[in-house]
A = this chain, B = another copy of it.
């Protein structure tokens, strides 16, 4: 009876392993609910750990949240990087390749992506800048031609910059709705259809010279 939920003698793991497991849990939790709907009590309990340990490793609740977001961003960038390299080889257009990787990532991490887009940014300035940075890295990989001139510093051509910002906004908005449809089992577009639609919206001012 009592032993059924006995504390199972606490395990002592290496700091790296413990942090890894807590981050994994964080990806799951923050994929289900928003920041202030999850208490540190709940995180600790579902992690089979005391609240004290959570604060020991991540400083405070926001520190944990930021670490989780950073983990997600790293995973996205990792995939994107691989796609970019593959494309340099095949010399395909970067918009299509990056968009494909991005939509696959959204497919696999629908919950986390949704939460991140709809609220994660507002939680604190560090998360905002983290998301902004990630977005910019992706933007550069999508439109390498604009990299040096328009995006670094205050390039003269604001038009191209806004065109890129707008297109990325279009991609993210469509991805959020798409992820939502998928999670709720509603009929929706195939990934290739959505990619085609979004590629059709790439402003001419940022489109890379079509090869082949």
Contact = CB atoms under 8 A, between A and B. Distances in A.
A17 interface: no
Interface in A34-62: 34-36
Contact of A121 (B118, B128, B169, B189): B118
A73 interface: no
Contacts of A176: 169
B203 A203 contact: no
Contact of A166 (B35, B193, B197): B197
The quantity of this chain's copies bound in the complex is 2
| A interface, over-half SS | helix
Given A34-B123, A170-B169, A162 B187 contact: no
Contacts of A36: 36, 123
A122 B176 CA distance: 13
Contact of A177 (B123, B124, B165): B165
A158 B35 contact: no
Interface in A159-212: 159, 162-163, 165-174, 176-178, 186-189, 193-194, 197-198, 200-201, 203
6 contacts: A162-B174, A162-B194, A165-B174, A169-B169, A169-B172, A170-B173
Interface of A: 34-36, 115, 118-124, 128, 154, 158-159, 162-163, 165-174, 176-178, 186-189, 193-194, 197-198, 200-201, 203
Given A34-B122, A34-B123, A115-B122, 16 more contacts: A122-B123, A154-B187, A158-B188, A162-B178, A162-B194, A162-B197, A166-B170, A166-B171, A166-B197, A166-B198, A166-B201, A167-B170, A167-B201, A168-B173, A170-B170, A200-B203
